[in-house]
Amino acid sequence: AQSVTQLGSHVSVSEGALVLLRCNYSSSVPPYLFWYVQYPNQGLQLLLKYTSAATLVKGINGFEAEFKKSETSFHLTKPSAHMSDAAEYFCAVHKYTGRRALTFGSGTRLQVQP
């Protein structure tokens, strides 16, 4: 069964510092990959998605992620953190064969210190 692992349940960075949130997937076939963000008391909002068109994917709010097949990773980065980036981030995978729903990682809560 495919799964998603997010390393680090909490990440804290200073404002202006690099943000790196890690995601690894297990799948023998490159899947569709997603990063979602959840602000307090809200639903999930799509940040970006990988669908095999390009390995470096740019999303909203200055975030990007790189698909690395050899490492089965899809880490999320942002060059300079902003206070408004404080939220919970979820990596998710959908394999094009198999069940219809996304499989989510356990989430990473990002704190941004002033």
Partner 1 sequence: DVKVTQSSRYLVKRTGEKVFLECVQDMDHENMFWYRQDPGLGLRLIYFSYDVKMKEKGDIPEGYSVSREKKERFSLILESASTNQTSMYLCASRPNPGLAGGESSYEQYFGPGTRLTVT
Q: Smaller CB distance to partner 1: residue 17 or 32?
A: 32
Q: How far is the CB of 38 from partner 1 (least distance, A)?
A: 8
CB 31 within 8 A of CB 2: yes
Q: Residues of 33-70 as b/e, b for ≥16 C-beta within 10 angstroms?
A: bbbbbeeeeeebeebbbbeeeeeebebeeebbbebeee
Q: Smaller CB distance to partner 1: residue 9 or 113?
A: 9
Q: Smaller CB distance to partner 1: residue 17 or 27?
A: 27
In the complex, which residues of this chain contact partner 1 (CB under 8 A)?
Answer: 6, 9, 32, 34, 36, 41-46, 49, 51, 53, 90, 94, 96, 99-102, 104-107
